[in-house]
């Protein structure tokens, strides 16, 4: 059972770190290009941390925004679970 919990923390950490970063970044690129943003606004949406630019620029509700919010919450929960692994390894 203990090995299962450690494996869960490890997998959650890597899923959130790699999968979350890549998938949320690609979703921001897709919506920015689909909305035909130009110049600074495009860079603002794509590169601001914590999706701040995305949420400031696209305030109207949409199905894409709902999916983005659900994925953001999922990856946040995964990184919290994976963060426990860091404390486990440190205090072992």
Is the distance from CB of 20 to CB of 79 less than 8 angstroms? Answer: yes
Distance CA 15, CA 27 (A): 16
Interval 38-87: pLDDT, tens: 889 999 999 998 889 999 999 999 999 999 999 999 999 999 998 888 78
Q: What pTM was computed for the model?
A: 0.84
Distance CA 54, CA 51 (A): 5
The mean per-residue pLDDT over the stretch 27-41 comes to 92
| Dihedrals phi, psi of 54, to nearest 5 degrees | -65, -50
Q: Please state the domain extents for the chain.
A: 9-90
Write b or e for each residue in 17-35: b if 16 or more Cβ atoms lie within 10 A of its Cβ, otherwise e.
Answer: eeebeebbeebbeebbeee
Contacts of 88 (CB under 8 A, 6+ apart): 6, 9
């Amino acid at each position: 059972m203990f090995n299962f919990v450690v494996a869960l923390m490890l997998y959650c950490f890597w899923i959130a770190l790699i999968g979350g970063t890549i998938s949320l970044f690609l979703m921001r690129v897709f919506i920015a290009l689909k909305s035909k943003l130009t110049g600074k606004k495009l860079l603002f949406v794509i590169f601001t941390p914590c999706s701040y630019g995305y949420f400031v620029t696209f305030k109207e509700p949409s199905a894409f925004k709902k999916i983005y919010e659900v994925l953001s919450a999922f990856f946040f929960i995964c990184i919290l679970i994976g963060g426990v692994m860091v404390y486990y390894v440190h205090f072992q």
